[in-house]
Every structure is written in C-alpha cells, then in structure tokens.
Amino acid sequence: MNKCIITVAGKGGVGKTSISAAIVRELVKKFPDSRILAIDADPAVGLATALGVEVKLTIDDIRKRITDEAPDSRDKQLVQAMLAEAKYQIYDAMVQKDSFSFLAVGRPETAGCYCGINSYLKQVISMMSEEFDFVVIDGEAGIEQINRRVMETVTHLILVTDPSKKGTQVVQTIKKVADELVMYKEIGVVVNRLTNDEQKKYINVGDLPILTYIKEDTNLQLTDIKGESVLDLPDNSNLVTGVDETLKALKIF
C-alpha cells in the first residue's frame, strides 16, 4: 500500500473539519492495522473536537518554547535552526488514540501572522509522512497554506464546497494555486450540505471532477449537539456514506 497524504481544503464553514474526521473514521475502519495520523492544521482547532481528542500541547506551543530560549528571537536563521533540531519534541504533542494519532498545529505567533508556524508545519508534514501510512490534514480555510507551499507533499487534495457561488469559486481558486505550487496525484471536489438535488444543476466547479454530493446530515447535527465525535456516527449517515464514496472515487479504497 502506498503512503497517502490527504489534505482537505476549502472556504470556511463548508464542513471541511467534519469531512476530515469522517475520512479518519473510514480509514480506521478499512485499514485497522495501518498507521494513521490526523493533523489539525486549521487555527480554529475543530478537528480535535470532531475526533474526541483532548489537546494539551500543539506544534505552536513547541515553537514558542524554542523561540523563547533563543538568544535573539529576531535572528530568523537561528530560530529556524533550533526548530529543526527540536523536531523530536513533536512527539510530546502527539496524542495517541487506539486507532490513530493526532497532532494540532495551534494558533499563530501573532494575530494575523501565520508565516512562522506555516514554515514549521511544512517541515512537520514532510517528516511525519515518512512515519505513517495515512496522513489526513484538515487545512486552514482559504488558500494561505496552499499559497505558502505548506501542503506541497500532498498525494490527494480534496476540495470542499457548499452549494454557494462563493464556495465553488474558492475551490477553483485553490486548484489554480495548487497547480502552480503543489505536487499532488489526485484532486476532486466534495459538494457538501446539499439540501435538494435541484441544486446540482447550478453548481459550477470548472474543470474539477466532483467526487460526490453530500446532503445535509441530521445525524451529524445531533452528534454535534450531544458533544459526541464523528467516530460515533452510524454507517448510514450522509456524511459517512459520502466520504466513503469520495475515497473510492480517489482510489484510496
């Protein structure tokens, strides 16, 4: 089995995190003996909740710890060198579950600035891809991480949109940026939160293949209200069946 690095991207509020969690759920079910890593690369930090994981330490916590010890934190080359030497500390931040491992990126060093953590995240993803059979990345909303080549080691790029015009425009923009900056093997769109089949006629994602349509999921809404994880969803829920179709379309199953 070839290693897979699956990144889920799209505009905010389209259900990326739930889909990322459901991907982990299905990989665990289909490949119980595989090494699976879930990375929450979105500063909103929602994947931990969706997977029922308690995060105590993030990659950015480690970055801050190292930079605080640097003689001159303004010396970017020195800080980067110290970060590179401290990669082993990442394992302190990794949460080990029975069937998968979890790692959270955390928040940026200052409001509105993601440069340092994105640079470090790139190194982390590259390193971690060698340790696991599957890496599932819940990406930051929009194109920032793609634009900074944080995801340049991706094998499968899943772009998520809702039926809105804005959502479909964002996935096309991400695709254009990814074509220039990211090496990926497979790409496709998941249209999430469809309320009726009539909407399909008006959805335009350009030349991107649509992997599946996922209708609104009342099971997911109830799970969220009850504070349960996506792992607890029934097999016949719209989210689970839709993600299953997505992974089959991408030939991961």
The domains of the chain are located at 4-249
Lowest mean pLDDT among 29-43, 133-147, 155-169: 133-147
Model pLDDT, residue 112? 47
Alpha-carbon separation of residue 183 from 12, 88, 153, 159, 178 (angstroms) = 23, 26, 6, 15, 8
Measured CA to CA, the distance from residue 168 to residue 161 in angstroms comes to 6
Across the range 240-252, mean pLDDT stands at: 97
Q: Which of 168, 162, 150, 167 is nearest to 213 (CA)?
A: 162
CATH T-level assignment (fold) for domain 4-249? Rossmann fold (3.40.50)
Question: Contact 55/118 with Cβ under 8 angstroms?
Answer: no
Percent of the chain with pLDDT over 90: 58
Q: Which residues contact 212 (CB under 8 A, 6 or more apart)?
A: 190, 191, 242, 245, 246, 249
Does this model's pTM top 0.85? My answer is: yes
Pairing of strands 134-138, 95-96: unpaired
Q: 162 and 193 in contact (C-beta within 8 Å)?
A: yes
Over residues 169-175, the mean pLDDT reads 95
pLDDT for position 154: 86
SS3 12: coil
